[in-house]
Amino acid sequence: MAVIKTNSSDVDLLARLLRAEAEGEGDQGMLMVGNVVINRALVDCLDFRNVRSIRDVVYQSPGGFEATQFGYFYQRPRDSERRLARRVINGERIYPATNSLWYFRPTGECPAEWYNQPLTDRFKSHCFFSPLPENCPSVY
């Protein structure tokens, strides 16, 4: 059962984002990106108080996703990415993105903090960051 209200357009949008942001990280990496998107839509804290849908999260400005600025993001989604998008929409959560609201790809090691948020862990090229429970209890 979906943890967030969506339609087929939302599934396609999330599928395109997963591919554009993390295709090189494989299915697991794309699922983690999806976790971050869903987490942002569900919480009511920090920079994500006024985003409630996948579309709001993807195009949030500032704070959205860099991939939306490049042509690769606008390619038609494949069925494989749609399946991954549906999995995270239905609540599948993958560590280290389980409670993460941010991720990025550094050129070297993951910093211990990013924008004052502690490092959760790394998966391949992406570092994931989760807020402290007292700063965002709704993500836990």
Rounded to whole angstroms, the Cα distance separating 90 from 97 reads: 15
How much is the pLDDT for 45? 96
CB-CB neighbours of 106 under 10 Å: 12
Q: What angle do CA 65, 70, 71 make, to 5 degrees?
A: 130
pLDDT in tens, the chain (140 residues): 899 999 999 999 999 999 999 999 999 999 999 999 999 999 999 999 999 999 999 999 988 899 999 999 999 999 999 999 999 999 999 999 999 999 999 999 999 999 899 999 999 999 999 999 999 999 99
Q: What is the CA radius of gyration of the chain?
A: 14
How much is the pLDDT for 1? 84
CB 98 within 8 A of CB 92: no
Rounded to whole angstroms, the Cα distance separating 86 from 93 reads: 12
Show me where the domains of the chain are located. 8-139
